[in-house]
């Protein structure tokens, strides 16, 4: 793998590979690597799972959040960037590997503490988390685990279950239902973001028009196709964050 972006020239050198991505170079690459709205979105699932407990232990919630930030926010995204440079960053390959290793090691260290101090069920959940991060982002087994379903399970349902178990040491019907809801939300995210990524990273141009019932027509371009989905993604990322904040606040007030 090269230290530089994919040698295939982007369809538009000025186009950003994601709506939150900054121009490549320096600290901006690390901002883009974090996928900030999506990382906050999925960390919100941790808060939702923790807030389902009858009593919210703030320390364990923060530890669980830190573990998922290290594993999902840093390690997973570093591995994803290693696998084809989808964000076209200039972060050296060695730095990406180091970020992945340190992120996973940090998450495991927090997990060990949780398993010893909170509940032994964390021992069983840790290897599942590592497997999901590595298998999904490196597209192991020919991409078998790099699918819409696996994304929804790993980035949607798993954080809810882990956070709830860290709080209670058990599972419940409420946690299972909430996890299923977050799986569905993550599936919706994927359904919106996949065509958007294609439009931003692989489409050279779009032409055509929409014929209206009154005989008028409206032109179609890349922005026409991309804008509704990206607007929905922006709104969903904020709404899930606010929902999680509300659930946590309800436990703390």
SS (H, E, C) 129-186: HHHHHHHHHCCHHHHCCCCHHHHHHHHHHHHHHHHHHHHHCCCCHHHHHHHHHHHHHH
Average pLDDT over residues 211-218: 93
Mean per-residue pLDDT, 197-208: 90
H or E element at residue 114:
helix 93-117
Beta pairing partners, 210: 218
Of the pLDDT bands very low, low, confident and very high (cuts 50, 70, 90), residue 14 is low
How are the residues of the chain apportioned to helix, strand and coil, as percentages rounded to the nearest 5? 70, 0, 30
Average pLDDT, the chain: 93
Q: Model confidence over 42-78: pLDDT tens digits?
A: 999 999 999 999 999 999 999 999 999 999 999 999 9
Q: What is the pTM of this model?
A: 0.92
Q: Which has the closest alpha carbon to 72: 5, 15, 155? A: 155
Q: Which two tokens stand for residue 201?
A: 């990273």
List, for residues 121-142, the tens digit of each pLDDT value. 999 999 999 999 999 999 999 9
Annotated domain spans of the chain: 27-252
User: What three-state secondary structure class fits 171?
Assistant: coil
């Amino acid at each position: 793998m090269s230290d530089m972006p994919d040698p295939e020239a982007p369809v538009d050198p000025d186009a950003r590979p994601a709506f939150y991505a900054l121009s490549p170079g320096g600290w901006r690459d690390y901002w883009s690597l974090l996928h900030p709205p999506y990382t906050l979105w999925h960390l919100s699932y941790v808060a939702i799972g923790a807030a389902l407990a009858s009593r919210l232990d703030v320390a364990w919630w923060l530890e669980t959040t830190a573990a998922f930030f290290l594993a999902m926010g840093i390690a997973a995204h570093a591995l994803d960037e290693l696998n084809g440079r989808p964000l076209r960053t200039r972060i050296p390959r060695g730095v990406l590997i180091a970020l992945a290793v340190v992120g996973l090691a940090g998450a495991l260290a927090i997990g060990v503490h949780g398993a010893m101090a909170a509940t032994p069920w964390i021992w069983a959940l840790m290897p599942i988390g590592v497997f999901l991060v590595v298998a999904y982002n490196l597209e192991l087994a020919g991409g078998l685990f790099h699918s819409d379903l696996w994304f929804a399970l790993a980035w949607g349902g798993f954080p809810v279950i882990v956070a709830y178990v860290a709080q209670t040491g058990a599972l419940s019907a409420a946690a299972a239902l909430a996890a299923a809801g977050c799986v569905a939300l993550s599936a919706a995210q994927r359904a919106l973001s996949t065509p958007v990524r294609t439009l931003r990273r692989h489409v050279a141009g779009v032409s055509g028009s929409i014929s209206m019932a009154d005989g008028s027509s409206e032109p179609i371009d890349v922005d026409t196709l991309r804008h509704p989905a990206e607007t929905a993604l922006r709104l969903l990322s904020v709404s899930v964050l606010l929902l999680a904040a509300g659930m946590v606040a309800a436990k703390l007030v």
